[in-house]
Amino acid sequence: MMGEEYYCVLKLVSGEEIFSLISVDENDGDPIIVMQNPVIMKMIQNHMGSCVKIKPWMEIPNEDIFVIKFDKIITMTEVNDNSIISVYEKYIRSEGESTVGLDAPDKTGKVRISNQMGYVSSVEDARKKLEELYKGIKES
């Protein structure tokens, strides 16, 4: 009987860390993990921001569902971070682009500004404040 599906990170005895949508199948008392579209994710930080490098767990098969036994897993944890899940789903929909930005551009190529990027005022407001600071220093 198949259990409910959830996003999970699995650490295998081989050392691999896999992110996948999984469910547990109770197979005659020998439970197995059914993974859909398993991938390997790596966080990359640079001057441009944060990106997640994603590649398929197995590159040759054209399958998207894999089965693994519990004895091959060291640990597993459910993932509830919507930003990571969103990046994963975007990768699956894009059918394998290798790097997806956490602040990825939309279809027009523009990245939406967010508070995490440091956006605190408009250019006009910032110009006025800098002019006031400059005038204050110059008068002193």
User: Please, what are the averages of pLDDT over each run of 10 residues along the chain (140 residues)?
Assistant: 83 94 84 91 80 84 86 92 87 66 51 58 82 78
Contact 1, 26 (CB under 8 A): yes
Residue 12 identity (one-letter amino acid): L
Exposure of 62 by Cβ count < 10 A (0-12 exposed, 13-18 middle, 19+ buried)? exposed
Alpha helix ranges (H) inside 60-122: 82-93
53 in Cβ contact with 36 (< 8 Å): no
- DSSP-assigned beta bridge partners for residue 11: 17, 75
Between the alpha carbon of residue 73 and those of residues 35, 70, 76, 134, the distances in Å are 13, 5, 7, 61
Write down the pLDDT at residue 19: 95
**Cα–Cα distance between 58 and 26 in angstroms, integer?**
24
Domains of the chain in sequence order: 6-109 (2.30.30.100)
pTM, 2 dp: 0.63
Are the CB atoms for 85 and 79 separated by under 8 Å? yes
